[in-house]
Amino acid sequence: MNVQTLCLGALTLGEASGYEIKKLFEDGPFAYFYHASYGSIYPALSMLLENELITMRQEEQDGRPDKKVYAITPKGSGVLGRKLKKAPAPDKIRSEAMLMFFLADHLDASHLDEVFEGYLEAYRDKLDYVNRPDDGEWPPHCQFVKGLGQAFYRTAIRYMEENRHLLFSSIDQGEKR
Amino acid sequence: MNVQTLCLGALTLGEASGYEIKKLFEDGPFAYFYHASYGSIYPALSMLLENELITMRQEEQDGRPDKKVYAITPKGSGVLGRKLKKAPAPDKIRSEAMLMFFLADHLDASHLDEVFEGYLEAYRDKLDYVNRPDDGEWPPHCQFVKGLGQAFYRTAIRYMEENRHLLFSSIDQGEKR
DNA sequence: ACCGGCATGTAACGGGTTACATGATTTT
DNA sequence: AAAATCATGTAACCCGTTACATGCCGGT
Protein backbone atom coordinates (compact mmCIF):
# COMPACT_ATOMS: atom_id res chain seq x y z
CA MET A 1 0.00 0.00 0.00
CA ASN A 2 1.56 3.22 -1.19
CA VAL A 3 0.61 6.84 -1.66
CA GLN A 4 -1.14 6.02 -4.92
CA THR A 5 -3.59 3.77 -3.11
CA LEU A 6 -3.96 6.42 -0.48
CA CYS A 7 -4.87 9.08 -3.06
CA LEU A 8 -7.33 6.73 -4.65
CA GLY A 9 -8.90 6.21 -1.24
CA ALA A 10 -9.00 9.93 -0.55
CA LEU A 11 -10.75 10.53 -3.86
CA THR A 12 -13.57 8.13 -2.96
CA LEU A 13 -14.65 10.85 -0.53
CA GLY A 14 -15.18 13.18 -3.47
CA GLU A 15 -13.07 15.03 -5.99
CA ALA A 16 -10.11 16.97 -4.71
CA SER A 17 -6.85 18.64 -5.65
CA GLY A 18 -3.43 17.48 -4.57
CA TYR A 19 -3.30 20.34 -2.15
CA GLU A 20 -6.58 19.33 -0.60
CA ILE A 21 -5.53 15.70 -0.33
CA LYS A 22 -2.42 16.76 1.49
CA LYS A 23 -4.56 18.62 4.00
CA LEU A 24 -6.52 15.47 4.73
CA PHE A 25 -3.30 14.09 6.20
CA GLU A 26 -2.30 17.28 7.92
CA ASP A 27 -5.47 18.25 9.73
CA GLY A 28 -8.20 16.11 8.30
CA PRO A 29 -9.56 12.71 9.25
CA PHE A 30 -6.55 10.80 7.86
CA ALA A 31 -4.22 12.75 10.09
CA TYR A 32 -3.89 10.29 12.92
CA PHE A 33 -3.32 7.13 10.94
CA TYR A 34 -1.43 8.14 7.82
CA HIS A 35 0.99 10.73 6.51
CA ALA A 36 2.08 11.90 3.09
CA SER A 37 3.94 14.90 1.71
CA TYR A 38 3.54 16.88 -1.51
CA GLY A 39 6.62 15.22 -2.88
CA SER A 40 4.80 11.91 -2.87
CA ILE A 41 1.24 13.04 -3.53
CA TYR A 42 1.80 15.03 -6.73
CA PRO A 43 3.78 12.33 -8.53
CA ALA A 44 1.26 9.74 -7.35
CA LEU A 45 -1.58 11.74 -8.89
CA SER A 46 0.33 12.07 -12.17
CA MET A 47 0.79 8.32 -12.29
CA LEU A 48 -2.84 7.61 -11.49
CA LEU A 49 -3.92 10.04 -14.20
CA GLU A 50 -1.62 8.42 -16.72
CA ASN A 51 -3.13 5.04 -15.95
CA GLU A 52 -6.64 6.46 -16.16
CA LEU A 53 -7.48 5.54 -12.60
CA ILE A 54 -8.44 9.17 -12.05
CA THR A 55 -9.50 12.11 -14.22
CA MET A 56 -8.39 15.71 -14.01
CA ARG A 57 -10.20 18.98 -14.54
CA GLN A 58 -8.45 22.32 -14.47
CA GLU A 59 -10.34 24.81 -12.38
CA GLU A 60 -9.71 28.51 -12.65
CA GLN A 61 -9.97 30.58 -9.54
CA ASP A 62 -9.85 34.31 -9.13
CA GLY A 63 -7.01 35.60 -7.05
CA ARG A 64 -5.75 32.05 -6.59
CA PRO A 65 -3.55 29.76 -8.64
CA ASP A 66 -5.36 27.32 -10.87
CA LYS A 67 -6.46 24.12 -9.29
CA LYS A 68 -6.30 20.61 -10.69
CA VAL A 69 -9.32 18.77 -9.45
CA TYR A 70 -9.06 15.01 -9.61
CA ALA A 71 -11.84 12.44 -9.52
CA ILE A 72 -11.70 8.66 -9.33
CA THR A 73 -12.81 6.62 -12.35
CA PRO A 74 -14.59 3.23 -12.32
CA LYS A 75 -11.27 1.70 -13.33
CA GLY A 76 -9.68 3.38 -10.31
CA SER A 77 -12.41 2.07 -8.06
CA GLY A 78 -11.72 -1.42 -9.33
CA VAL A 79 -8.01 -1.16 -8.63
CA LEU A 80 -8.66 0.25 -5.17
CA GLY A 81 -11.14 -2.53 -4.45
CA ARG A 82 -8.54 -5.15 -5.33
CA LYS A 83 -5.88 -3.53 -3.15
CA LEU A 84 -8.27 -3.44 -0.22
CA LYS A 85 -8.98 -7.16 -0.55
CA LYS A 86 -5.60 -8.01 0.87
CA ALA A 87 -4.83 -8.28 4.57
CA PRO A 88 -3.57 -4.99 5.97
CA ALA A 89 0.10 -4.72 6.92
CA PRO A 90 0.67 -4.26 10.64
CA ASP A 91 0.68 -0.66 11.88
CA LYS A 92 3.97 1.13 11.64
CA ILE A 93 4.65 3.82 14.19
CA ARG A 94 7.69 5.90 14.83
CA SER A 95 7.54 8.29 17.70
CA GLU A 96 10.76 10.10 18.43
CA ALA A 97 9.13 11.74 21.44
CA MET A 98 8.36 8.34 22.97
CA LEU A 99 11.91 7.25 22.33
CA MET A 100 13.09 10.33 24.17
CA PHE A 101 10.83 9.55 27.11
CA PHE A 102 12.17 6.04 27.13
CA LEU A 103 15.69 7.40 27.27
CA ALA A 104 14.73 10.24 29.61
CA ASP A 105 17.72 9.58 31.86
CA HIS A 106 19.98 10.79 29.04
CA LEU A 107 18.21 14.14 28.69
CA ASP A 108 18.58 17.16 30.89
CA ALA A 109 15.47 18.10 32.82
CA SER A 110 14.73 21.32 30.99
CA HIS A 111 14.83 19.70 27.57
CA LEU A 112 12.73 16.77 28.75
CA ASP A 113 10.22 19.26 30.06
CA GLU A 114 10.11 21.07 26.72
CA VAL A 115 9.62 17.83 24.83
CA PHE A 116 6.94 16.68 27.25
CA GLU A 117 4.97 19.91 27.14
CA GLY A 118 5.30 20.13 23.38
CA TYR A 119 4.06 16.61 22.90
CA LEU A 120 1.14 17.10 25.27
CA GLU A 121 0.25 20.36 23.59
CA ALA A 122 0.30 18.69 20.19
CA TYR A 123 -2.20 16.12 21.42
CA ARG A 124 -4.44 18.83 22.86
CA ASP A 125 -4.40 20.61 19.52
CA LYS A 126 -5.28 17.45 17.65
CA LEU A 127 -8.12 16.75 20.04
CA ASP A 128 -9.43 20.29 19.67
CA TYR A 129 -9.26 19.90 15.95
CA VAL A 130 -11.14 16.63 15.85
CA ASN A 131 -13.70 17.91 18.37
CA ARG A 132 -14.79 20.76 16.13
CA PRO A 133 -18.40 20.39 15.09
CA ASP A 134 -18.47 18.27 11.98
CA ASP A 135 -18.45 20.12 8.74
CA GLY A 136 -18.89 17.24 6.37
CA GLU A 137 -21.08 14.83 8.40
CA TRP A 138 -19.40 11.50 7.93
CA PRO A 139 -20.98 8.07 7.45
CA PRO A 140 -20.88 5.76 10.50
CA HIS A 141 -17.78 3.81 9.47
CA CYS A 142 -15.83 7.06 9.16
CA GLN A 143 -17.17 8.13 12.55
CA PHE A 144 -15.77 4.89 13.88
CA VAL A 145 -12.30 5.85 12.73
CA LYS A 146 -12.65 9.43 13.88
CA GLY A 147 -13.94 8.28 17.26
CA LEU A 148 -11.00 5.96 17.74
CA GLY A 149 -8.70 8.86 17.03
CA GLN A 150 -10.45 10.95 19.64
CA ALA A 151 -10.25 8.11 22.14
CA PHE A 152 -6.52 7.82 21.53
CA TYR A 153 -5.96 11.54 21.97
CA ARG A 154 -7.98 11.67 25.21
CA THR A 155 -6.15 8.65 26.56
CA ALA A 156 -2.78 10.17 25.80
CA ILE A 157 -3.65 13.53 27.33
CA ARG A 158 -5.12 12.08 30.52
CA TYR A 159 -2.26 9.63 30.93
CA MET A 160 0.39 12.27 30.43
CA GLU A 161 -1.27 14.64 32.89
CA GLU A 162 -1.63 11.97 35.54
CA ASN A 163 1.75 10.29 35.16
CA ARG A 164 4.06 13.18 34.55
CA HIS A 165 5.86 12.40 37.82
CA LEU A 166 6.97 8.98 36.55
CA LEU A 167 8.88 10.60 33.76
CA PHE A 168 10.62 13.20 35.88
CA SER A 169 11.23 11.26 39.08
CA SER A 170 14.37 9.64 37.69
CA ILE A 171 16.15 12.91 37.13
CA ASP A 172 14.73 15.26 39.76
CA GLN A 173 17.53 16.90 41.55
CA GLY A 174 16.40 20.49 41.86
CA GLU A 175 16.20 22.07 38.44
CA LYS A 176 13.79 24.54 36.97
CA ARG A 177 10.03 23.90 37.05
CA MET B 1 16.79 10.05 13.87
CA ASN B 2 17.63 6.77 12.22
CA VAL B 3 18.16 3.14 13.14
CA GLN B 4 21.69 3.89 14.30
CA THR B 5 20.40 6.24 16.97
CA LEU B 6 17.80 3.66 17.83
CA CYS B 7 20.40 0.95 18.34
CA LEU B 8 22.47 3.27 20.46
CA GLY B 9 19.40 3.93 22.57
CA ALA B 10 18.64 0.24 22.86
CA LEU B 11 22.17 -0.45 24.03
CA THR B 12 21.84 2.03 26.90
CA LEU B 13 19.57 -0.61 28.44
CA GLY B 14 22.50 -3.03 28.51
CA GLU B 15 24.56 -4.99 26.03
CA ALA B 16 22.71 -6.95 23.38
CA SER B 17 23.04 -8.68 20.04
CA GLY B 18 21.42 -7.50 16.83
CA TYR B 19 18.93 -10.28 17.18
CA GLU B 20 18.01 -9.19 20.68
CA ILE B 21 17.66 -5.57 19.62
CA LYS B 22 15.28 -6.61 16.89
CA LYS B 23 13.14 -8.35 19.48
CA LEU B 24 12.86 -5.15 21.47
CA PHE B 25 10.89 -3.77 18.54
CA GLU B 26 8.92 -6.92 17.92
CA ASP B 27 7.67 -7.78 21.38
CA GLY B 28 9.65 -5.64 23.75
CA PRO B 29 9.05 -2.21 25.20
CA PHE B 30 9.92 -0.40 21.96
CA ALA B 31 7.26 -2.35 20.10
CA TYR B 32 4.48 0.19 20.21
CA PHE B 33 6.42 3.28 19.23
CA TYR B 34 9.12 2.16 16.84
CA HIS B 35 9.93 -0.52 14.28
CA ALA B 36 13.08 -1.77 12.63
CA SER B 37 14.03 -4.83 10.60
CA TYR B 38 17.22 -6.90 10.48
CA GLY B 39 18.07 -5.33 7.17
CA SER B 40 18.48 -2.01 8.92
CA ILE B 41 19.72 -3.11 12.34
CA TYR B 42 22.71 -5.21 11.26
CA PRO B 43 24.20 -2.58 8.94
CA ALA B 44 23.57 0.07 11.60
CA LEU B 45 25.50 -1.95 14.17
CA SER B 46 28.39 -2.43 11.73
CA MET B 47 28.54 1.31 11.19
CA LEU B 48 28.41 2.11 14.88
CA LEU B 49 31.18 -0.40 15.52
CA GLU B 50 33.31 1.10 12.79
CA ASN B 51 32.91 4.52 14.34
CA GLU B 52 33.68 3.13 17.79
CA LEU B 53 30.35 4.19 19.22
CA ILE B 54 29.87 0.59 20.32
CA THR B 55 32.10 -2.41 21.05
CA MET B 56 31.59 -6.02 20.07
CA ARG B 57 32.34 -9.27 21.81
CA GLN B 58 31.88 -12.64 20.13
CA GLU B 59 30.07 -15.06 22.40
CA GLU B 60 30.13 -18.78 21.75
CA GLN B 61 27.05 -20.80 22.54
CA ASP B 62 26.51 -24.54 22.46
CA GLY B 63 23.93 -25.73 19.97
CA ARG B 64 23.36 -22.17 18.84
CA PRO B 65 25.09 -19.90 16.34
CA ASP B 66 27.66 -17.55 17.76
CA LYS B 67 26.37 -14.28 19.09
CA LYS B 68 27.82 -10.83 18.64
CA VAL B 69 27.18 -8.92 21.81
CA TYR B 70 27.39 -5.16 21.45
CA ALA B 71 27.86 -2.55 24.16
CA ILE B 72 27.77 1.23 23.98
CA THR B 73 31.00 3.19 24.52
CA PRO B 74 31.36 6.59 26.20
CA LYS B 75 31.83 8.07 22.73
CA GLY B 76 28.54 6.44 21.74
CA SER B 77 26.82 7.89 24.78
CA GLY B 78 28.07 11.31 23.81
CA VAL B 79 26.74 11.03 20.28
CA LEU B 80 23.39 9.74 21.54
CA GLY B 81 23.19 12.58 24.03
CA ARG B 82 23.69 15.13 21.27
CA LYS B 83 21.04 13.53 19.06
CA LEU B 84 18.56 13.59 21.92
CA LYS B 85 19.12 17.31 22.45
CA LYS B 86 17.15 18.12 19.34
CA ALA B 87 13.37 18.50 19.22
CA PRO B 88 11.67 15.24 18.29
CA ALA B 89 10.10 14.93 14.86
CA PRO B 90 6.32 14.56 14.95
CA ASP B 91 5.00 11.02 15.24
CA LYS B 92 4.61 9.15 12.00
CA ILE B 93 1.94 6.51 11.84
CA ARG B 94 0.73 4.38 9.01
CA SER B 95 -2.11 2.05 9.72
CA GLU B 96 -3.44 0.19 6.73
CA ALA B 97 -6.13 -1.33 8.92
CA MET B 98 -7.45 2.11 9.84
CA LEU B 99 -7.41 3.10 6.21
CA MET B 100 -9.50 0.03 5.45
CA PHE B 101 -11.97 0.94 8.16
CA PHE B 102 -12.16 4.41 6.74
CA LEU B 103 -12.95 2.94 3.34
CA ALA B 104 -15.14 0.20 4.78
CA ASP B 105 -17.86 0.83 2.21
CA HIS B 106 -15.51 -0.50 -0.46
CA LEU B 107 -14.90 -3.80 1.32
CA ASP B 108 -17.21 -6.78 1.42
CA ALA B 109 -18.59 -7.59 4.85
CA SER B 110 -16.73 -10.85 5.35
CA HIS B 111 -13.35 -9.30 4.61
CA LEU B 112 -14.07 -6.31 6.80
CA ASP B 113 -14.99 -8.70 9.56
CA GLU B 114 -11.72 -10.57 9.15
CA VAL B 115 -9.70 -7.37 9.21
CA PHE B 116 -11.59 -6.09 12.23
CA GLU B 117 -11.20 -9.28 14.25
CA GLY B 118 -7.56 -9.60 13.28
CA TYR B 119 -6.79 -6.06 14.31
CA LEU B 120 -8.63 -6.43 17.62
CA GLU B 121 -6.88 -9.72 18.29
CA ALA B 122 -3.51 -8.12 17.60
CA TYR B 123 -4.25 -5.45 20.20
CA ARG B 124 -5.32 -8.09 22.73
CA ASP B 125 -2.08 -9.96 22.15
CA LYS B 126 -0.03 -6.82 22.61
CA LEU B 127 -1.87 -5.98 25.81
CA ASP B 128 -1.34 -9.52 27.13
CA TYR B 129 2.30 -9.21 26.31
CA VAL B 130 2.76 -5.90 28.06
CA ASN B 131 0.70 -7.06 31.04
CA ARG B 132 3.01 -9.96 31.81
CA PRO B 133 4.68 -9.55 35.17
CA ASP B 134 7.81 -7.53 34.62
CA ASP B 135 10.96 -9.47 34.04
CA GLY B 136 13.44 -6.64 34.07
CA GLU B 137 11.85 -4.12 36.50
CA TRP B 138 12.09 -0.84 34.64
CA PRO B 139 12.92 2.59 36.02
CA PRO B 140 9.96 5.00 36.38
CA HIS B 141 10.49 6.84 33.10
CA CYS B 142 10.37 3.54 31.24
CA GLN B 143 7.26 2.60 33.18
CA PHE B 144 5.77 5.84 31.95
CA VAL B 145 6.27 4.78 28.35
CA LYS B 146 5.12 1.24 28.99
CA GLY B 147 2.05 2.52 30.82
CA LEU B 148 1.11 4.79 27.95
CA GLY B 149 1.35 1.81 25.63
CA GLN B 150 -0.96 -0.16 27.88
CA ALA B 151 -3.38 2.74 28.04
CA PHE B 152 -3.43 2.93 24.23
CA TYR B 153 -4.04 -0.78 23.88
CA ARG B 154 -6.88 -0.79 26.42
CA THR B 155 -8.46 2.22 24.78
CA ALA B 156 -8.33 0.60 21.37
CA ILE B 157 -9.76 -2.69 22.58
CA ARG B 158 -12.60 -1.12 24.54
CA TYR B 159 -13.45 1.28 21.73
CA MET B 160 -13.49 -1.44 19.10
CA GLU B 161 -15.67 -3.71 21.22
CA GLU B 162 -18.16 -0.95 21.98
CA ASN B 163 -18.33 0.63 18.53
CA ARG B 164 -18.19 -2.35 16.25
CA HIS B 165 -21.69 -1.52 15.01
CA LEU B 166 -20.57 1.84 13.59
CA LEU B 167 -18.19 0.11 11.28
CA PHE B 168 -20.63 -2.48 10.01
CA SER B 169 -23.84 -0.47 9.91
CA SER B 170 -23.01 1.01 6.51
CA ILE B 171 -22.85 -2.33 4.79
CA ASP B 172 -25.23 -4.56 6.75
CA GLN B 173 -27.52 -6.28 4.37
CA GLY B 174 -27.68 -9.84 5.70
CA GLU B 175 -24.31 -11.42 5.28
CA LYS B 176 -22.53 -13.98 7.39
CA ARG B 177 -22.03 -13.33 11.11
C1' DA C 1 7.14 45.12 4.06
C1' DC C 2 6.67 40.58 5.35
C1' DC C 3 4.49 36.37 6.44
C1' DG C 4 1.13 32.79 5.84
C1' DG C 5 -1.94 30.50 2.87
C1' DC C 6 -3.05 28.82 -1.67
C1' DA C 7 -1.24 25.99 -5.44
C1' DT C 8 1.89 22.81 -8.23
C1' DG C 9 5.77 20.55 -9.20
C1' DT C 10 10.83 18.23 -9.52
C1' DA C 11 15.25 16.08 -8.31
C1' DA C 12 18.45 14.39 -5.36
C1' DC C 13 19.10 11.98 -1.59
C1' DG C 14 18.47 9.01 2.23
C1' DG C 15 16.74 5.27 4.26
C1' DG C 16 14.49 1.20 5.24
C1' DT C 17 12.12 -3.08 3.67
C1' DT C 18 12.00 -7.32 1.20
C1' DA C 19 13.93 -11.13 -0.23
C1' DC C 20 17.58 -13.99 -0.43
C1' DA C 21 21.43 -16.94 1.61
C1' DT C 22 22.80 -20.29 5.41
C1' DG C 23 22.35 -23.56 9.06
C1' DA C 24 21.74 -25.94 13.56
C1' DT C 25 18.41 -27.05 17.08
C1' DT C 26 14.10 -27.47 19.34
C1' DT C 27 9.27 -27.77 19.41
C1' DT C 28 4.89 -29.32 17.41
C1' DA D 1 8.06 -34.07 8.93
C1' DA D 2 7.41 -29.42 9.29
C1' DA D 3 7.70 -25.22 11.45
C1' DA D 4 9.55 -22.08 14.62
C1' DT D 5 13.61 -20.16 17.15
C1' DC D 6 18.19 -18.65 17.29
C1' DA D 7 21.58 -16.06 14.64
C1' DT D 8 23.89 -13.03 11.03
C1' DG D 9 24.27 -10.82 6.99
C1' DT D 10 23.78 -8.64 1.90
C1' DA D 11 21.88 -6.34 -2.15
C1' DA D 12 18.49 -4.70 -4.90
C1' DC D 13 14.81 -2.12 -4.84
C1' DC D 14 11.10 0.91 -3.52
C1' DC D 15 9.55 4.83 -1.92
C1' DG D 16 9.07 8.81 0.40
C1' DT D 17 11.04 13.03 2.42
C1' DT D 18 13.59 17.25 1.96
C1' DA D 19 14.73 21.03 -0.29
C1' DC D 20 14.30 23.79 -3.99
C1' DA D 21 11.71 26.54 -7.59
C1' DT D 22 7.74 29.74 -8.61
C1' DG D 23 4.12 33.08 -7.93
C1' DC D 24 -0.06 35.61 -6.50
C1' DC D 25 -3.13 37.28 -2.88
C1' DG D 26 -4.64 38.85 1.66
C1' DG D 27 -3.82 40.13 6.18
C1' DT D 28 -0.80 42.49 9.95
Q: Does B159 touch chain A (CB under 8 A)?
A: yes
The CA distance from B143 to B120, in Å, is: 24
For the stretch B2-60, pLDDT in tens is: 999 999 999 999 999 999 999 988 878 888 899 999 999 999 999 999 999 999 999 87
Q: How far is the CA of B158 from the C1' of C13 (A)?
A: 43
Kindly state whether residues B77 and B110 are assigned to the same domain: no
Is residue A147 included in any domain, yes or no?
yes
Structural domain contains residue A105: yes
Is it the case that residue A142 has pLDDT exceeding 70? Answer: yes
Nearest to A119 by CA among B88, B32, B112, B154: B88
Residue A9 and residue A77 in one domain = yes
CA of A67 and C1' of D23: distance in angstroms? 14
Which residues in A lie closer than 8 A to residue B109 (C-beta atoms)?
none
Q: With CB atoms and an 8 Å threshold, state whether A106 touches B84.
A: yes
Contacts (Cβ under 8 Å, ≥6 apart) of B61: B67
Out of A81, A88, A147, the one facing B159 most closely (by C-beta) is A147
User: Residue B98: which residues within 8 A CB-CB, separation 6 or more?
Assistant: A33, A34, A91, A145, A148
B85-119 pLDDT tens trace: 999 999 999 999 999 999 999 999 999 999 999 99
β-partners of residue B138 are none
Kindly determine whether the C-beta of residue B20 is less than 7 Å away from any atom of nucleic acid strand D.
yes
Residue ending a domain, among B83, B104, B126, is B83
Helix and strand numbers (H, E) in chain A are 7, 3
Whether residue A145 and residue B105 make contact (CB cut-off 8 A), yes or no, is no
Which of B30, B62, B83 is at the close of a domain? B83
List all nucleotides in chain C with at least one atom under 7 A from a protein Cβ.
6-12, 14-19, 23-26
In a domain, A131, yes or no: yes
Residue A174 has pLDDT above 60, yes or no: no
Instruction: Using the 3D structure, point to which of B55, B83, B111 is the last residue of a domain.
Output: B83
CA distances from A128 to A120, A123, B140, B176 (A): 12, 9, 30, 39
Domain presence at residue A134 = yes
pLDDT tens digit string along A61-83? 777 778 999 999 999 999 999 99
Q: What is the pLDDT of residues A3-39, one digit of tens each?
A: 999 999 999 999 999 999 999 888 788 888 999 999 9
pTM over 0.75: yes
Q: Taking 60 as the threshold, does the pLDDT of residue B176 lie above it?
A: no
Domains held by chain B: number:
2
Find chain A residues with C-beta within 8 A of B105's C-beta. 139, 141
Predicted confidence at residue A10, as pLDDT, reads: 95
pLDDT at B174: 45
Q: For A11-139, list the strands marked E by DSSP.
A: 54-59, 67-72, 92-94
Q: Is the CB of A2 under 7 A from strand D?
A: yes
Give the pLDDT of residue A113. Answer: 95
- Would you call A122 an interface residue with chain B, using a CB distance cutoff of 8 Å? yes
- What CATH number is associated with residue B15? 1.10.10.10
Strand D contact at CB of residue A94, distance < 7 A: no
Same domain, A25 and A76: yes
Burial (0-12, 13-18, 19+ Cβ within 10 Å), A48: buried
The answer to the question of residue B91 being in a domain is no
Confidence of residue A169 (pLDDT cuts 50, 70, 90): confident
Angle at A17 between CA A32 and CA A137, to 5 degrees: 55
Which pLDDT does position A25 carry in this prediction?
86
Q: Among all strands, which nt has the closest C1' to B65 (CA)?
A: D7
The residue count for chain B: 177
Within this chain, do residues B100 and B126 fall inside the same structural domain, yes or no? yes
Q: Which pLDDT value is given to residue A37?
A: 94
Specify if B88 maps to a domain: no
Domain that holds residue A44: 3-83
For residues B74, B80, B84, B85, the Cα torsion angle rounded to the nearest 10 degrees is 60
B56 within 8 A of B11, measured Cβ to Cβ = no
CA distances B96 to B62, B120, B152, Å, are 42, 14, 18
